[in-house]
Copies of this chain bind each other. A is one copy, B any other.
């Protein structure tokens, strides 16, 4: 493996000059730069990042703590993060925390810190297990690099938390209002697992919309993001004659709900409208095509990483460019006005 001294020798310059060229530092003549580059190329020279990191104290890498799930949301967010990190000239290191992991986020952060990262992204964190027995005096990790928390405020206590993701509450609200605007008396909700901030956030958005319109708040169905759980919730809902509109916290659950309704001979959208969340690629092609709201994952990731990199490179004041992403409701065929009912003659199931 050729080292920078080898390049220097071949180019007839000092080793430091090679370093200058490779780091695009100023004060290098064009001629020398050319010679160095050519020598490096000729030798097939590759910079040794470990040495660079050791000497400079910076690794030029960012670590991300992500959920080990192929769910559309987390997966899309990770892709956005990788792209943004790479564009910023950093390398990406990934640690997944499986749900129910004992060490959890703290352990993942610890391992990233040990690897040496200049910044950390915590993507869509879920609440730590606060079981009594797990609490073996877990002293909080000492985090000395900036941390970007994507999708949950205050989920991680660290000195340098730079941004605390997007609120999907507004999106949930828009989804709910869409149904209300169609004339539905109220909207049922199939929520995600409540130890996910994203799930709680959407639930609150739904609740807020209902309150503002003075609508009755029906009991919440709880799912785990899977179509499977949506199906289970849908079976409950299908038995309730009051249900005319359902907002599911993600598209997969919405698909499960629709399936349950269809099996129960409740027509979608004629009898029951369903709205999802995410706009997964197949949303437009299921039957009926699903009305949903699109999440701007790439934009969120890009903006977050911009902030994080800023915090890494200029540890001064940070710019809270909370440039609100546009809300995009995608209306398809799964939503419609409620079935006509003569007021007063409406059959009620609730006691």
Q: List the interface of chain A (C-beta within 8 A of B).
A: 1, 44, 46-51, 53-54, 59, 61, 68-70, 72, 75-76, 79, 82-83, 86, 91-96, 98, 111, 113-116, 142, 144, 226-228, 230-231, 252, 255-256, 258-259, 262, 281-282, 284-287, 289
What is the chain B residue whose CB lies nearest that of A96? B82
What is the chain B residue whose CB lies nearest that of A139? B44
Q: In the complex, what residues of B have CB within 8 A of residue A113's CB?
A: 46
For the complex, give the distance between the alpha carbons of A70 and B297 in Å: 11
From B44, B48, B54, B285, A227 is in contact (CB under 8 Å) with B285
Centre residue among A69, A70, A144, A284 by max chain B CB count within 10 A: A70
For the complex, give the distance between the alpha carbons of A212 and B228 in Å: 38
Contact A285 B79 (CB under 8 A): no
The 9 nearest A-B residue pairs measured at CB: A50-B53, A227-B285, A259-B285, A50-B54, A75-B75, A70-B75, A227-B282, A70-B76, A256-B285
List 18 A-B residue pairs with CB atoms under 8 Å apart, sorted by A's residue number. A49-B114, A49-B115, A49-B116, A61-B93, A69-B79, A70-B281, A75-B75, A82-B95, A82-B96, A91-B115, A93-B94, A227-B281, A227-B284, A227-B285, A230-B285, A231-B285, A282-B282, A286-B286
Besides A50-B50, A82-B94, A227-B285, 14 other A-B contacts (C-beta < 8 A): A44-B142, A47-B114, A48-B116, A50-B59, A68-B79, A68-B82, A69-B79, A83-B96, A91-B111, A91-B115, A92-B93, A93-B93, A228-B285, A282-B282
Q: In the complex, what residues of B have CB within 8 A of residue A75's CB?
A: 70, 75
For the complex, give the distance between the alpha carbons of A111 and B69 in Å: 26
For the complex, give the distance between the alpha carbons of A316 and B305 in Å: 42
Given contacts A79-B68, A259-B287, A86 and B95 within 8 Å (CB-CB): yes
For the complex, give the distance between the alpha carbons of A79 and B94 in Å: 10
A99 to chain B, nearest CB (A): 12
From B50, B86, B289, A116 is in contact (CB under 8 Å) with B50
What is the chain B residue whose CB lies nearest that of A66? B82
A275 to chain B, nearest CB (A): 16
Q: In the complex, what residues of B have CB within 8 A of residue A69's CB?
A: 79
A268 to chain B, nearest CB (A): 10
Q: In the complex, what residues of B have CB within 8 A of residue A111's CB?
A: 91
For the complex, give the distance between the alpha carbons of A53 and B48 in Å: 10
What is the chain B residue whose CB lies nearest that of A226? B281
What is the chain B residue whose CB lies nearest that of A234? B285
Contact A115 B281 (CB under 8 A): no
For the complex, give the distance between the alpha carbons of A83 and B286 in Å: 32
Q: In the complex, what residues of B have CB within 8 A of residue A98's CB?
A: 83
For the complex, give the distance between the alpha carbons of A51 and B54 in Å: 6
What is the chain B residue whose CB lies nearest that of A77? B70
For the complex, give the distance between the alpha carbons of A6 and B144 in Å: 19
For the complex, give the distance between the alpha carbons of A53 and B50 in Å: 6
